[in-house]
Amino acid sequence: MKKHIVLLPGDGIGMEVTLAAKDVLEAVAEEFDHTFTFESKDIGGSAINNHGTPLPEETTSACRNADAVLLGAVGGPEWDNNPSHLRPEKGLLGIRKELNLFANLRPVKGFSNLLHASPLKREVVEDSDLLIVRELTGGLYFGTPSERRNNGQSVVDTLAYERHEIERIVRRSFDAAMLRRKHLTSVDKANVLESSKMWREVVEEIKEDYPQVTVEHMLVDAAAMKLITNPAQFDVLVTENMFGDILSDEASVLTGSLGMLPSASMNEKGFGLYEPVHGSAPDIAGQGIANPLATILSAALMLRHSFHMEHEAQRIESAVNQALEQGYHTSDLHIPGGSRVDTDKMTHLVIDLLKADSTTA
């Protein structure tokens, strides 16, 4: 199969982990006789430096013409004091909006050899396998912020949703639940927010179409607590943009590191941009020690969701699992008796295991 992939490495470790995932995709192409072509474009801070804007038009149009997009991460201290329209994060929000990527799927499943790597007790983490479905193009992130008023002493951010925006993400989460354990937790703040009250109404309405799915409503503060005290109770969680952002970093603790969490951001037509959940990690950028697995696992999600290459996706996931089973880990993780390796070594271990696996199949 021929596929054209746009790479948006971005900033900090974004570059390092995107190149790692590209190497893995090239190995998949070779092993399975596919042709993947790649084109790199600027986004975020690197785009500000090279083009004067965090999202150049040529980046958006290259993404529109691609079969799928793989993004690293954006941001860094160099741009932290920029005005809002010249923040790297604007580039990321912009591409999500331009491509209408409203559904952000963030699977959280521990690898068995990393059960010790979580600061949580093994018995708490062991059976956790959940999917956070985060609304990605609405809510607080896309409100209409005010200018500073009242001599700079007042400011407003708005949390707005159209009913149809809630309906499509809720439907998406029911569809996901149907393919899993058929349990949906809708997370909101309906005891306070009007938007959450409408969110609940929509969930109640749509659940009539999915009689096999059990539905639970949970307030976000309680959900934050239950995610780390009893994560096994969750199957699919659906929630608004900001809540989903916060809860997914929290849930990464179950896997041992933020460097392990992949994600898929999809539009209504099934087009996807794939990105690790983590950021540009300025504290370790440029050292070649970042964990590439979140991005490599995001590439696996690309194969699964955009290219319908389930077998190839599983090959990547199995190679990652084997590398961890053999005790290899990057510096963000600890495996007792294991070996600490850098980004490059981890990537090549995954590639070698992937190839070895397919030759014995």
The CB-of-361 to ligand IPM minimum distance in angstroms stands at 35
To the question of whether residue 80 is assigned a binding role by annotation, the answer is yes
Handedness of CA 91, 95, 98, 102 (dihedral sign): negative
Is 189 annotated in the active site? yes
Pair 37, 70: CB distance under 8 Å = no
Q: How far is CA 127 from CA 11, 199, 294, in A?
A: 35, 29, 20
Question: Is 46 a residue that touches ligand NAD (CB under 6 A)?
Answer: no
- Footprint of Mn ion (CB under 5 A): 245
If one counts every other C-beta atom within 10 angstroms of the C-beta of residue 197, the result is: 14
User: How many chain residues interact with ligand NAD (CB under 6 A)?
Assistant: 22
Q: Which is nearer to Mn ion, 14 or 56 (CB)?
A: 14
Handedness of CA 308, 311, 315, 318 (dihedral sign): positive
Helix (H, G, I), strand (E, B) or coil at 212: coil
Q: Which is nearer to ligand NAD, 13 or 130 (CB)?
A: 13
Question: Is 76 a residue that touches ligand NAD (CB under 6 A)?
Answer: yes
The residues pairing with 266 across neighbouring beta strands, listed in sequence order, are 103, 272
Q: How far is CA 235 from CA 106, 109, 174, 229, 255, in A?
A: 12, 11, 11, 15, 15
Helix (H, G, I), strand (E, B) or coil at 344: helix
Is 42 annotated in the active site? no
To the question of whether residue 283 is assigned a binding role by annotation, the answer is yes
Q: Name the active-site residue from 42, 141, 328, 332.
A: 141
Of residues 222 through 261, those in contact with ligand NAD by CB under 6 A are: 258-259
Among 238, 290, 300, 354, binds ligand NAD (CB under 6 A): 290
Q: Which residues here bind ligand IPM, judged by CB under 6 A?
A: 75, 89, 92-93, 245, 277, 279
Catalytic residues: 141, 189, 221, 245, 249
Q: Which residues here bind ligand NAD, judged by CB under 6 A?
A: 13, 17, 73-76, 89, 92, 258-259, 275, 278-284, 290-291, 294, 332
